[in-house]
C-alpha cells in the first residue's frame, strides 16, 4: 500500500507567496498563469467593488494571492480571483499575516480558458462545503455571470443585467456589461 503525506496549510505557507497552488483536502492543485483576460476581468470588478467597500468601511477585498483556510485535517486553502470579507467576521486578534480563517463572504472566480467544467464544479463544491455565502462565477467566453448563493438555486446574468450585492454587500450594483468591457471597446 502506498501512502501519501497530506499537505497542510503550514506546508503551503512555507512554500512562499509565489507557490502556484491551492490546497484541496490536503492535496496540492496547481494554479497556473492564465491568459490576460481573466485577470483584467477580476481587476475590473475590484475597481468597482474596492471603493464601495472602503468608503463604507465594510471589511476587506483580497486578490488572487489571498488565501482562505476553509478546512482542517485535511486542510483546504483556496485563493479566489477576488474576495470580500465583512468587517464583523474578522477575528479581533487576526494579524493578516496568515491565511484567513474561514471562507470569504463573497468569492469571485473568473473561469480561464483552460478551466474545465469539472474544475469549476470542484471549486464550487469546495466553497459550498465551507458555507461560503456567495460565489460569483464569471464566464468570459459567454459574457455571463452565475451567482451561487447558499440555499438558493444558481442564477445566471448576461450583459444586459445588473449584479446586486444582496445581503453580503447591500446597495452594491454593477452592470454585467462593465465586467466584460475591454480597453479597446471604447
Domain boundaries, the chain: 9-185
pLDDT at site 10: 86
Torsion, Cα 153 163 142 159, to 10 degrees, reads: 130
Q: What is the DSSP string of 135-176?
A: EEEEETTTTEEEEEETTS--EEE-TTSEEE-TTTSTT-EEEH
Report the phi/psi class of residue 102: left, alpha or beta, with left for phi > 0 and alpha for psi in -120 to 50. Answer: left
The strand pair at 76-78 and 155-157 is best described as: unpaired
Q: What pTM does this model have?
A: 0.88
pLDDT at site 125: 95
Options 3.90.1570.10, 3.90.1150.10, 3.30.465.10, 3.30.1330.60; which CATH number does 9-185 get?
A: 3.90.1570.10
H-type helices in 28-116, by residue range? 36-56
Please give the Cα distance from 89 to 104 (Å, whole number): 9
Are the beta carbons of 25 and 8 closer than 8 angstroms?
no
Series of mean pLDDT values for 10-residue runs along the chain (186 residues): 71 75 80 79 96 97 93 92 97 93 97 87 95 97 96 96 96 97 82
Are the beta carbons of 13 and 22 closer than 8 angstroms?
no
Amino acid at each position: 500500500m502506498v501512502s501519501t503525506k497530506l499537505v497542510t496549510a503550514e506546508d503551503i505557507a512555507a512554500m512562499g507567496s509565489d507557490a502556484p497552488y491551492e490546497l484541496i483536502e490536503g492535496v496540492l492543485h496547481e494554479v497556473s498563469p492564465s491568459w490576460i483576460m481573466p485577470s483584467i476581468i477580476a481587476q475590473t470588478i475590484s475597481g468597482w467593488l474596492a471603493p464601495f467597500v472602503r468608503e463604507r468601511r465594510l471589511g476587506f477585498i483580497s486578490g488572487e494571492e489571498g488565501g482562505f483556510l476553509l478546512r482542517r485535517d485535511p486542510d483546504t486553502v483556496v485563493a479566489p480571483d477576488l474576495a470580500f470579507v465583512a468587517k464583523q467576521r474578522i477575528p479581533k486578534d487576526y494579524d493578516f499575516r496568515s491565511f484567513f480563517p474561514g471562507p470569504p463572504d463573497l468569492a469571485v472566480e473568473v473561469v480561464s480558458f483552460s478551466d474545465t467544467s469539472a474544475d469549476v464544479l470542484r471549486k464550487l463544491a469546495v466553497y459550498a462545503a465551507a458555507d461560503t455565502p456567495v460565489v460569483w462565477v464569471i464566464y468570459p467566453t459567454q459574457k455571463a455571470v452565475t451567482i451561487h448563493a447558499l440555499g438558493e438555486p444558481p442564477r445566471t446574468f448576461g450583459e444586459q443585467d445588473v449584479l446586486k450585492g444582496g445581503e453580503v454587500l447591500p446597495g452594491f450594483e454593477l452592470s454585467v456589461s462593465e465586467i466584460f468591457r475591454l480597453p479597446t471597446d471604447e
